[in-house]
Amino acid sequence: MNGYTKKIPILILIANEKIRNYVLGLCKRNNFHPLIGADLEELIKRFKTRHSGIVMIDYEVVKSYGARIYSRINVACPGCNVILLCDQDHRDLIKEAVEHGVYACILAPYEEWEVLTMIRNIVAKKKLRGRKKVNKDKTL
């Protein structure tokens, strides 16, 4: 699976430095190589030519950009899966996120197994879709 994860970019757009460092370290220890986004515009530029990817955002980013962040990501990369990291004080953002098609919301304390399971599930589904597409193209 590790070879395939290089084809699926992971971008971290997390404003809270402590959460960002935790997620970055967690990913690196598990052979995922995420990119760090400075802001929404950088994220849009990086994903504009991509058809899939994983975007991890936190509640602070959503508070800064508002719900429009989800549609901006979706327009730039329709196949991107968004994972929202949220604490108890900002649970109200979860309903809005789900209504906008966010793949998953993880509540603090962001257990290692939860974060990695979400990433691995997305990678596995995209890998399976890629195989189906290749097999379909071969039969045509």
pLDDT of res. 49? 78
pLDDT at 88 over 70: yes
Look at residue 30 and tell me whether its pLDDT is greater than 80: yes
Q: Cα(103)–Cα(82) distance, rounded to whole angstroms?
A: 5
Interatomic CA distance for residues 5 and 40, integer angstroms:
23
Identify the structural domains of the chain with CATH numbers, from first to last. Answer: 2-139 (3.40.50.2300)
Mean of pLDDT over the chain: 89
pLDDT on residue 60 = 97
In contact, 32 and 53? CB cutoff 8 Å = no
